[in-house]
Amino acid sequence: MLQENSKENRIVAPSLLAANFFTLSTEIAKVHDTSAQWIHLDVMDGHFVPNLTFGPKIIQDLRPQTDRFLDSHLMVSNPDFLIPLMAEAGVDAITIHSEAVIHLHRSIQTIKALGKLAGVSIVPSTPVSALSEILSFVDIVLVMTVNPGFGGQSLIESASDKIKSLDAIRIKMGYNFRISVDGGVNSSTAPSLWKKGADILVTGSSFFSDPDPRSFTSFLLSC
Ligand SMILES: O=C(CO)[C@@H](O)[C@H](O)COP(=O)(O)O
Ligand SMILES: [Co+2]
């Protein structure tokens, strides 16, 4: 029988992808006005996904502006060269896609050796079974519930069912990874995502388009 994780351990991570990049200070102030504990940073290369965002320079400039945990999500074809640059820029966690690397174990060990939390992510078409050999080594499993590249898409229900499988595996095997869910998270989808076993909810467009992000975040943390 699967159990919902305790509410006290829930994390909400607003994704800067949905923020206005020209007024980032104001957008970060919005996050600071809420109880969201993490800031999610989507790094895209126009190759692994059909979109471009930002890289280490902006993150390095952001680092002294916030005490929030910086959760980076690398949607790039060759994350290995970027891992040390992201660490140097000051992120706290680095998540890479299992679909993007050949030597996933080596890349995860590199992230850990740099003192950062190491995460692995899967796109909606990748099954949980693809992660069987890496789950014991990672701190975060990021389940993409939309096809990566853009904010504002609707959550793919079948992809969210992977949360349940991952939760069952970690209970059975005694693994310590946290389950993060990314894509289409809003006040309607959040309750069932927590119920399925999510620990972290990433929210982009729903957070930044809400006139009251503080109440929105409180709702997510308590629903
Ligand atoms: O990684 C991604 C998109 O590829 C996400 O982190 C998005 O930023 C989520 O945006 P919403 O679906 O919440 O609008
Ligand atoms: Co993301």
Return averaged pLDDT per consecutive 10 residues of the chain, 223 residues in all: 75 98 98 98 98 98 98 98 98 98 98 98 98 98 98 97 98 98 98 98 98 98 97
Range 8-222: architecture per CATH: Alpha-Beta Barrel (3.20)
**Ligand 1 near 162 CB (within 6 A):** no
Buried/exposed 183-199: b ≥16 CB within 10 Å, e otherwise: bbbbeebbeebbebbbb
pLDDT for 40 equals 99
pLDDT for 200 equals 98
Q: Where are the domains of the chain?
A: 8-222
Tokens 């504990």 correspond to what residue?
Answer: 37
pLDDT for 113 equals 98
Out of 71, 146, 147, give the residue to mutate to test ligand 1, the one with the largest number of ligand atoms within 8 Å of its CB.
146
pLDDT for 1 equals 41
pLDDT for 5 equals 77
**Ligand 1 near 18 CB (within 6 A):** yes
pLDDT for 3 equals 56
pLDDT for 6 equals 87
CA 56/CA 46 separation, integer angstroms: 16
What atom in ligand 1 is closest to the CA of residue 186?
Answer: 13
First-to-last CA distance in the chain?
21
Q: Find the largest Cα–Cα distance for the chain.
A: 47
Burial of 137 (0-12, 13-18, 19+ CB in 10 A): middle
The reply to whether the predicted model has a pTM over 0.90 is yes
Cα 184 to ligand 1 centroid, rounded to whole Å? 7
Phi and psi (nearest 5°) for 134? Answer: -115, -15
